[in-house]
Structure 1
Amino acid sequence: MEKFRKSRVNLTAFWRSSRMQIERQKAMVTLLKRPKRNRFADFLHKQKPHHQIAAQIQEIKETVQRITERRERYGFNTLQQTPTTARKRHDPRKASLFLKETEVIGLESPRDELIVVLESSSPHRLVASVVGMGGLGKTTLAKQVYDRIKGRFDCHAWIAVSESYKVEDLLRNLMKKFCGGGLELTTQNAIETMDEVALITHLREYLHNKRYLVMFDDVWNNEFWSDIEHALLDNESGGRILITTRNIAVADNCKTSSWVVIHRMKYLPPDKAMELFCKKSFQFEYGGCHPSELKNLSAEIVSRCQGLPLAIVVVAGLLSTKEKTVYQWQKFLESLGSEMLNHSDMERILSLSYNDLPYNLKCCYLYFGMFPKGCSIRCGRLIRQWIAEGFVKSERRKTLEDVAKEYLTELVDRSLVEISKVDGEGKAKTCHIHDLLHDVIFKKMEDLSFCQVFSGDELSNFNTVARRLTIIGSSNKIPSTIDVSRIRWFSISSQDEMLNSTISKFATSFKLLKELYFENFPHLDHLPKDIGNLFHLRYLSVRGTRVKYLPKTLGIAKLRSEDGRSLCGCIEKMKCLESLYVSSTSEEDIIELESMTCPPEFLRRLYLVGPLKKLPDWITKLQNVTMISIKCSKLGDDPLKVLGILPELVELRIRNEAFVGEQLRFEEGGFPKLKVLDLYDLKGMNSMRIEEGALPVLEKLHLKTPKLQEVPSGIQHLRNLEMLQFMDIPNELMESMDPNGGHNYQIIQHVSSIRLSCEHGKEYNFYEVISKIMKD
């Protein structure tokens, strides 16, 4: 359709241009009618424009010819017509409807399992759904099952649904298939005039006490079940419905009112894949087996198909017409990807699922084409990329990460993406796509100028229209002449050390860059100094590099007191913000954050560096925060009363005179989930009290308090404490905890690891005690 629109625009431009040419010709005739003495001079003067006009006319003719060819190719007869249907496409599913059982390979086991399910004695309506990506053989399997059992039902019908359908037409077709040729003419005419409700009523009456079997092939619409469930009533006579679909949501929706069994199609194992390949490639020669000289090549070709029956059948069909020589097969293997993709049925079938995606998911799915074929992709990285690009739409009371995970789940449900690995909780960790789907979207990605993927040697061919650039593999020096001013996304994965000298200058020239990836670039040991000036940068990855430090302008630093109110207003709008870091300009400039009343609901990490009048009141509203770090805040009041009520807080750091009082008190019931407590450089604190019932799950306690006079009161209550560290404490206090006679050792001996240090001038003495060993 897009090409058609362009053609229409070109035709309009052509007619306008032609009109202009006619006007020019009229003007020329007028000139020729002028007096004789001027004609020859005018003729010479206009001779050059004549040649230019003639060249332009020839160019217009060639353009029109190309438009005409495209019109014929895409089936447009006039500007007003839609694509012609006179030339029908070949439907490869037809062949699967007429296969003999002996021709079907690798489906015997699932066929028998489905037959058992559909022939079960339960009287209730049952839906069996066959789910999988295009080309896995869903229709073939369903037809084998259908043919085996249809004679055991009172009536049966096979309905091809496809992407779009009208409910009324579907119901009429269903009625006609049930009745076969037994419908009287008057009944047939009546059916044609019925509306949806009448058709449903008629079908229910017909199926009132019948045991029926219906096969719906190639269902796409998630709401399909709601369209047909009332027509196929649960008459407690053992009605059975079989559905093939690429989208598991189609099957899940049937669960609202029916018993559902889902069978997920699997790829053919290597032995079955080879058997199918040989049956199709050598069906009329070599006894259906590959000759010995072609054995290795056959194995390599079959492995490239990755167990997808459609790919195996297409490849085998192409090879069946070629000479059975090593040279011909080797040549075919070298161009295997393009050979398969150029096969119209293959590309069309694999493209259907992509074409059915909503717009935002199409953009997300195209991202898979920017990764090397066959690689597993971290799900976390993928969803962060989508978010940084703006592909993920915000939804009420959901973080963008949650919405992006739903996008990924939908792609999995649509049989477009496969989960490679899950974590201990069963959540998706890595994912991948089939190589043939990668070929399809890679081609679409290039056609749409979505991204260009290069080895460095090809960069001179960079398309300046593309907004994304990926460099994979070894490469020479990046040409300085490349215009990358429009690039929004840049990724590099290279083993080439030469790039390290030019990458800084190259990367910082991306003024509009949103995402920057230096993954698996082991020679990169630092980031460009000016990378913080990339104002639009939302995501930066240096995984697999030697980079140890990030530039400093990456965070909200040097906040002035007078800017606090504006900052609070901005933060309140960041509904999905998870991490916030704020630091002041100096030790005297107070961080002003009191004007914020509704902090981001999903904030999980908070870092405050600089003086505070007090802890902001909104901190008590952080119901999801897991980590808080406060530095240089100079709080005189005990901050623990505020922080202790946070229900999800796991780690707390109070450092560098964040608290300047003398005592901290942990009250009963406070900090219910805190596991790590770090009190560092609190130079004024001399005592610490822990009430029984406070810090119930604390595991690590770090204290650097040079004025601490005694072991924290109540530390014996911390029964889950595993690591205790005292630094820069007075020598007398350290000696009191010595396992060899120290009077305070008994109250800390339940801790498995203790580390103590005191200061004598510039020297430090360390005692490390493993209490369990001492006890033994």
Structure 2
Amino acid sequence: MAECAVTYLLDRLTIIWEQKVRELKGVKEGIENIKDELERMTAFLRVADAMEDTDMELKVWVKQVRDIAYDTEDVLDKFIFFHLTRSSQDSMANVYVYKLFGWISKLRFNNGIASDIEDIRYRVRGIAERHQRYRYKFNNTLNQQGMNPVAVNSLAYDRRGDALLMEESELVGIKSRKNVLMGLLVEGGSRFGVISVAGMGGLGKTTLVKKVYDDPAVKRNFQSHAWITVSQLFKIDELLKDTIKQLFEEIKQAVPQGINTMNSNQLKEVIKQFLQGRRYVLVFDDVWSIQAWNAVKYMLPNNSYGSRVIITTRLTSVASHASMGTVGNVYMLNPLSQEESWTLFCRKTFRLSSCPPYLMEISHKILKRCAGLPLAIMSISGVLATKSNRYDDWVMLNNSLGAELEDNDTLESLRLILLLSFNDLPYYLKSCFLYLSIYPEDHLIVQNSLIRQWIMEGFVKPKEGRTLEEVAEGYLNELVNRNMILIVRYNDDGSVKHCRIHDFLREMLVSKSRDQSFVMTANEQTRDWIHKLRRLSIHGSWAKTQPQRCGAQLRSLLAFSATDSESMSSMHELLNGSRMLKVLDMSGSPLESFPKPITKLLHLKYLRLRHTKIKSLPRSIRNLRMLETLDLKHSLVTEIPREILELQNLRHIIVYHSVEYSYLPFDFTLGFKPPKGMGALTSLHQLSFVDVSPGTGILEELGKMKELRRLCILKLRTDDGMALCSSIENLQNLRTLNISTTAEDEILDLHQMSSPPLSMQRLYLTGRLEKFPHWIQSLRSLVKVYFRWSRLREDPLEYLQDLPNLVHLEFLVGYVGEELRFKAGKFQRLRLLDLDKLEPLREVIVEDGAMPHLEKLILQRCNFLESAPTGIEHLINMKVLEFFDMPDEFILKLHGEYHKIAHIPQVYHTYWRDGVWESYPLDDNQEKENFGRPRTAIRTYNQRNSL
């Protein structure tokens, strides 16, 4: 982590050197020396970070380097703050006395900066001397252990071998998973296949594969067998020699002479010749990279004897690559179910007894934190089994799980397994992943907010041809690929929408973040505050945050669940003392007005005040010259002051709120009125939701914002069509376009667009369309299309059916025809279809071969629809069929046609009753007289749709 801090600092030094440092007399040489020394240390720091857990002396040195980086950053930010303050003051006063006073203060300030730099240079000199000593010691350690620097991340002891010794009777849920894997072994007949078992560390991949490997049926059906542990530390020659020994020992033959002097290519040839005419099964356990797999795959003959290779890996990309081009499969190992988890927990915790009733509730709370991870369940059960069954002891363990993970020997294997995944991360991902410790337990992490925070923190490195957001999204995908993030919900295009991290992994990150002064999480019980705090995450009340303990070094402040008014005075005090803040998130706080201290945070880049009662922004927001993200979603702000135009670094303006109803009304979203001249904000990537009512002049200005990726506009009139189309044609980077007219009957005139942005992926059109906009057919990247209150007369399917990437299609009062026909071979990628309030619609026809991948179909308020879609039986991949507020006669008729929908696992009919939605299952066993009125609803929720 010190390497990340130093790399970020070096990037900033380069920028500031080019722009401002030349103004500081007496500082140039000092800055150059600091920069040169830190650059020399970065390569060593990249591996030293992983070793600090096993070398306390080295840990102290790494901490000193990190502190130097932080202190240098503080000096730079103080320098920038001074110049920002002077710039702001210069615009307000220009008299002789003021200039004289400014010259004197600048002289004093520059002398102070020079002194700070000299002090840091002296400290760097001492650290550099120790660097040489540690480097010598480090290289000696590597030579003695026969390791290379790339492999140092694996120094933590890996107790994978214990998994190979577990008895099958000790395991839970192994039988069904074993049967699935056994089935995969015999699929594909005589062709060669690679089966990849993937999942996060601790899921039991090695244990499962070992039980399959040892099964008598596998021993009988394959002539040759070998189990090869790869791991991060593998040496190819030793791995190959071990494979040869296993293969020859199995047939009781001596290994070929001279293998100890053979090179890797010769050893591979021996293996390949041995396996050429045999039906074999080989296991490569714990493969950490595609390069590791490529090092062994060419020695495996692709014969026609039905041979199989099984690999285990934590990386989905490795699993997919290994199985590619064979009859193999990727088997993603899932966590244990709730029932399986409880069985394993009780078996390991209470042995032959059952859980005492008074421990039932706390046991389920502890088990919930294990999230179905077998190693976590077994580890925590081992701790509980040694404790008395006193309720207070169990509560104490649940509340101090992070400390237990660090200090309890029984949990050590779990901690080290998790640490292996963290240490294997490339340096640029470590800061990003460690940053997740800032979120509370079980918090739903929103992808868009997370990647913006990463960018504002400086974790994301620019890449040519890609925006920072696209690079950051790639970072997130890498963490998903490594199975270190749990996906809660995907977007329609397959990207991550919401995610979270496993509780035990989070506890490890919280501990590591605190130890490295990276992030501190605080609540009402926090007493011990860390030194030189950089990031603070407050969970709950602010009342006891001890602002004086945070210090001026604070760069990021995030508050979660702070709903009491008493916290606001502490918040003001904290903000007043944290002038270097760059990231501030106070979403959900009981704010009714914009906090004045925020306008003094001249370094602020990211401001998120969602779900507050703030009604307006002050004109002094002009002071936030560095601001890049202004997020006021679900606040009460309806107008932005003209001073916002001075914030030339703005990339995201998100200002709107939505009203809540059972069904969304036409005007459920309320946006903001923009100032004139918005086109000056040419760096904007997102603008939502902007009110384009007459007098704003915004429509013509939009065409100047050529970096826009997401544009959401409200209150469009028919006469605005030409100006809007002209501006949109200039926005060739646009990915999302959301347009809404002033009223349901207002015509949405979009026919004058000849060259739409071809990169568009999401299109939301709300308003009457006299004709279908033909240019939509050219948007080959479209993933989602909404037509709301469009009242199209011509069949829209004719224009949409050949879009190659369309996944989600929705009509709300969108079509006034009596028939919708989905033709054979069309809508090849559609997965979700929603037809709402298409009142003239009488029949939906699905031809065989249409929508082959449809998973969910929603039919609601289609009161003239006569029956379930004709041909619905062709939709063999359907998972959910749901009817909302459909007539009772329609539901009754469904019973007579149940055979058509019997293949769909989940079928519901849902009604709005007494202020909530009630959803009931529909199955063939329901009594017809209760067709729409089952006794018990299986789920209720307050709002049908949300934006």
TM-score (norm. length: structure 2): 0.54
Letter in 1 for 2:320: D
1:94 paired with 2:161, answer yes
* Cα contact 1:222–1:250 (8 A) shared by 2: yes
Q: Does 1:354 align with 2:422?
A: yes
Question: Map of 1:669-680 to 2, 5 A cutoff?
Answer: 675=765
Match of 1:165 in 2: 234
Would you say 1:187 and 2:261 are equivalent positions? no
Partner Cα distance (1:722, 1:7) in 2:
66
The match for 1:492 is 559
Q: Percent identity?
A: 30
Distance 2:332 2:741 in 1: 53
1:600-639 maps to which residues of 2 (within 5 A)? 619=704, 626=711
- Does structure 2 retain, via aligned residues, the 8 Å contact 1:77–1:84? no
- 1:61-80 aligned within 5 A: 80=140
Residues 178, 550 of structure 1: alpha-carbon distance in 2 compared, 3 angstrom cutoff = farther
What residue is the counterpart of 1:151 in the other structure?
220
After superposition, where does 1:650-689 map in structure 2 within 5 Å? 650=737, 675=765
Contact 2:196 2:322 in 1 (8 A): no
Q: Is the 8 A contact 1:150 1:213 kept in 2?
A: no
Asked whether 1:128 is paired with 2:212, we answer no
The answer to whether 1:442 aligns with 2:510 is yes
Superposed CA offset, 1:376-418 (max 9, x none): 2222221111111111222233222222222222212212110
The residue aligned with 1:118 is 185
Q: Give, in whole Å, the separation in 1 of the partners of 2:389 and 2:577.
A: 54
C-alpha deviations, 1:579-623, integer Å up to 9, x for none? Answer: 699xxxx99xx9997xx9xx77967779999999x9799859779
Helix, strand or coil: the match of 2:227?
A: strand
Residue 685 of structure 1 corresponds to none
Where 2:380 maps in the other structure, the secondary structure is helix
Deviations 1:507-539 (A, max 9, x none): 243222111011221x22122235234222121
1:339: how far off?
A: 3.2
Summarize the Cα distance change of 1:625–1:642 in structure 2 as closer, same or farther, 3 Å threshold: farther
- 1:63 is aligned to none
Match of 1:28 in 2: none
Specify the alignment match of 1:469 in structure 2: 536
**Structure 1 pair 169/721, CA: closer, same or farther in 2 (3 Å)?**
closer
Instruction: Give the match for residue 344 of structure 2.
Output: 276
Determine if contact 2:547/2:573 at 8 Å carries over to the other structure. Answer: no
Q: Deviations over 1:295-338 (max 9, x none)?
A: 66655554443322212222333344455666766665665553
Determine if the alignment matches structure 1 residue 177 to structure 2 residue 242. no
One-letter amino acid of the counterpart of residue 278, structure 2: K
Q: In the alignment, which residue of structure 1 is the partner of 2:99?
A: none
CA 1:553/1:331 → structure 2, altered by over 3 Å: closer, same or farther?
closer
CA contact (8 A) 2:245 2:255 kept: no
Does the aligned pair in 2 maintain the 1:251–1:260 contact within 8 Å? no
Preserved contact between residue 383 and residue 404 of structure 1 (Cα < 8 Å): yes
- Equivalent residues of 1:669, 1:693 under 8 A apart: no
Quick one: distance in 1 between partners of 2:400 and 2:773? 69
In the alignment, does 2:173 pair up with 1:106?
Answer: yes
- Inter-partner Cα distance in structure 1 for 2:724 and 2:381: 72
Q: Is the 8 A contact 1:644 1:670 kept in 2?
A: no
In the alignment, is the contact (CA less than 8 A) between 1:217 and 1:243 conserved in 2? yes
State the alpha-carbon separation in 1 of the partners of residues 572 and 330 from structure 2.
53
Contact preservation (8 Å) 1:453, 1:470: yes
Deviation at 1:346, TM superposition (A): 1.7
Residue among 489, 514, 518 paired with 1:421:
489
Distance 1:188-1:533 versus aligned 2 partners, 3 A rule: farther
Going from structure 1 to structure 2, the CA distance change for 1:207 and 1:546 (only over 3 Å counts) comes to: same
Equivalents in 1 of 2:138, 2:466: separation in Å? 48
Q: Does 1:208 align with 2:292?
A: no
2:58 is the counterpart of 1:5 = yes
Q: CA deviation at 1:248?
A: 1.0
Q: 1:532 aligns with which of 599, 604, 618?
A: 599
Question: Aligned partner of 1:206: which letter?
Answer: F
* 2:290 match: secondary structure: coil
Stretch of structure 1 that moved more, 303-312 or 645-654 = 645-654
TM superposition shift of 1:666: 9.0
Residues in 2 aligned to 1:629 and 1:147: alpha-carbon distance in whole angstroms: 65
1:156 positional shift: 0.9
1:254 counterpart (314, 317, 322): 322
Q: Deviations over 1:711-754 (max 9, x none)?
A: xxxxx99x99999xxxxxxxxxxxxxxxxxxxxxxxxxxxx9xx
Does the CA-based 8 Å contact 1:669-1:695 persist in structure 2? no
Change (3 A) 1:555 1:192: farther
Output the amino acid matched with 1:5. Answer: L
* Matched residue SS, 2:432: helix
TM-score (norm 1): 0.65
Distance 2:356 2:573 in 1: 57
1:241 match: 309
Question: Structure 1 residues 248 and 308, CA, compared in 2 at 3 Å: closer, same or farther?
Answer: same
- What CA distance in whole angstroms lies between the structure 1 residues aligned with 2:160 and 2:390? 31
Query: Using a 3 Å threshold, how does the CA distance of structure 1 residues 79 and 406 change in structure 2: closer, same or farther?
Result: closer
Shift of 1:467: 0.4
Q: What does residue 379 of structure 2 align with?
A: 314
User: Relative to 1, partners in 2 of residues 1:619 and 1:549: Cα closer, same or farther, differing over 3 Å?
Assistant: closer
CA gap 1:275/1:463 in 2 versus in 1, 3 angstroms? closer
Q: Give the Cα separation in 2 of the matches to 1:554 and 1:463.
A: 32
CA distance in 2, matches of 1:438, 1:288: 31
Distance (whole Å) between structure 1 residues aligned to residue 359 and residue 712 of structure 2? 62
- After superposing the two structures, state which structure 1 stretch, 239-248 or 171-180, moved more: 171-180
Shift of 1:476: 2.7
- Whether 1:390 and 2:458 are equivalent positions in the alignment is yes
3-state SS in 1 of match to 2:465: coil
Question: Matches of 1:338 and 1:419 in 2, distance apart?
Answer: 27
Q: Rg bigger for which structure?
A: 1
SS in 1 for 2:548: coil
Equivalent pair of 2:244/2:255 in contact (CA under 8 Å): no
* Paired residue secondary structure (2:619): coil
Task: Tell me the SS of whatever aligns to 1:481.
Answer: helix
- Contact 1:314–1:340 at 8 Å: present in 2 too? no
Post-superposition offset of 1:85: 6.9
Counterparts of 1:552 and 1:90, CA distance in 2: 58
Distance 1:468 1:144 in 2: 46
How many corresponding residue pairs? Answer: 604
Shift of 1:235: 1.2
Q: Specify whether residues 110 and 480 from structure 1 end up closer, same or farther in structure 2 by C-alpha distance, changes over 3 A only.
A: closer
Please give the secondary structure, in 2, of the residue aligned with 1:260. Answer: coil
Partner Cα distance (1:619, 1:630) in 2: 20
Alignment partner of 1:220 out of 275, 280, 288: 288
Report the secondary structure of 1:416's partner residue.
Answer: coil
Q: CA deviation at 1:185?
A: 7.0
- The aligned residue for residue 643 of structure 1 is 727
Q: Deviations over 1:330-378 (max 9, x none)?
A: 6656655533443321211111111111122111111221111122222
Query: For 1:112, what is the secondary structure of its paired residue?
Result: helix
Q: In the aligned structure 1, how far is the partner of 2:310 from the partner of 2:181? A: 9
Picking from 554, 557, 571, the partner of 1:503 is 571
Flag structure 1 segments of 5+ consecutive residues without an equivalent. Answer: 11-66, 559-566, 656-664, 679-689, 702-715, 724-751, 753-776
The answer to whether the Cα contact below 8 Å between 2:206 and 2:312 also exists between their aligned partners in 1 is yes
